[in-house]
């Protein structure tokens, strides 16, 4: 075998190993996330708070601010306090703490204040949204699982459609590997999930299909946004904490975007205590 022939073979083998690691990691992490989402309450809020802190720290690693204690400490403290406020059902206090944390970072982070405050807003919004969606006792779990499954199948459908079909690239400058076929494949997969929820009478078919489609698009935009930030700073992975996936940001970028939009939409229809109903009841 020549060197030219060996290169594609090595790339294929590496891709196969990466896929195996992705599958194994998903089989371990997904059931844990679903179980804690089912339990809800403090268990889910604690997981979300820890994940939000991880997202913030990885954001700082990407932007080169992770060694700045004056940035890390106020941000982590704010996210921890936001989580405690939400666990105590003090949604108003949680928002005040998050805004205060952003102001403190703006005053202490110097020339990089825009990136520092953006990171805290990104992680904090994901934290608040993830907890509020689950908060609804009647429909919170169904709404959260709906968002999670739409994001997951969008990612999975996009991965396999992109690898099997290939074709024109989606946005080469931001994410060279993503294709239009992958984007369409993920979109179609999200419609299947939404149809499944409607079939089990968890919601009306038309609105859920539109909601699933919209969240799928938002999820893919969230993925592209994170890729754009990494490319801006010349970073490939946000970290290596999850085998085959990279970091929390790499794994949760689509979910962050989708759950924030879902929470806003649910809040507008159902209020702070009825975000789940606002998403699922039509």
Using CA atoms, how far apart are residues 242 and 21, in angstroms rounded to an integer? 9
Instruction: Decide if pLDDT at 245 tops 80.
Output: no
Start-end of H helices in the chain = 3-39, 41-63, 69-87, 91-108, 113-135, 140-165, 180-199, 205-232, 248-270, 275-280
Return the pLDDT at 2: 54
pLDDT by residue (tens digit) across 87-136?
999 999 999 999 999 999 999 888 889 999 999 999 999 999 999 999 99
pLDDT score for 15: 53
Neighbours of 59 (CB within 10 A): 25
CB of 265 closer than 8 Å to CB of 279: yes
- According to the model, what pLDDT value does residue 9 have? 47
Global confidence as pTM: 0.90
> Which residues, 6+ apart, have CB-to-CB distance to 139 below 8 Å?
276, 277, 279, 280, 281
Res 7: pLDDT: 46
Q: For residue 242, what is the DSSP state?
A: B
pLDDT at 59 over 50: yes
> What is d(CA 96, CA 111) in angstroms, rounded to the nearest whole number?
25
Give residue 192's pLDDT band: very low, low, confident or very high (50, 70, 90): very high
Query: Can you tell me the distance from the alpha carbon of 14 to that of 246, in angstroms, rounded to the nearest whole number?
Result: 15
Question: Phi-psi bin for 42: left (phi > 0), alpha (psi -120 to 50), beta?
Answer: alpha
Q: Map out the domains of the chain as residue ranges.
A: 40-135, 137-282
């Amino acid at each position: 075998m020549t060197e030219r022939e060996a290169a594609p073979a090595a790339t294929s083998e590496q891709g196969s190993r990466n896929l195996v690691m992705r599958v194994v990691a998903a089989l371990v992490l997904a059931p844990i996330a679903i179980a804690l989402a089912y339990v809800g309450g403090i268990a889910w809020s604690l997981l979300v708070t820890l994940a939000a802190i991880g997202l913030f720290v990885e954001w700082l690693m990407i932007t080169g601010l992770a060694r700045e204690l004056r940035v890390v400490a106020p941000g982590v403290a704010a996210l921890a306090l936001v989580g405690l406020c939400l666990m105590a059902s003090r949604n108003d206090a949680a928002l005040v703490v998050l805004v205060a944390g952003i102001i403190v970072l703006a005053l202490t982070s110097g020339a990089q204040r825009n990136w520092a405050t953006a990171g805290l807003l990104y992680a904090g919004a994901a934290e608040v949204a993830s907890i509020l969606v689950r908060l609804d006792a009647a429909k919170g779990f169904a709404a959260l699982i709906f968002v999670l499954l739409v994001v997951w199948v969008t990612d999975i459908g996009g991965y396999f459609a992109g690898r099997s079909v290939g074709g024109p690239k989606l946005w080469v400058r931001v994410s060279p590997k993503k294709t239009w076929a992958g984007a369409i494949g993920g979109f179609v997969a999200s419609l299947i999930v939404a149809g499944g929820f409607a079939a089990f009478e968890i919601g009306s078919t038309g609105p859920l299909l539109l909601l699933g489609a919209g969240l799928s698009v938002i999820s893919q935009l969230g993925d592209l946004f994170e890729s754009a930030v990494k490319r801006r700073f010349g970073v490939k992975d946000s970290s290596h904490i999850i085998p085959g996936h990279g970091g929390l940001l790499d794994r949760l970028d689509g979910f962050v975007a989708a759950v924030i939009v879902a929470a806003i939409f649910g809040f507008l229809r159902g209020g702070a205590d009825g975000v789940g109903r606002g998403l699922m009841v039509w």
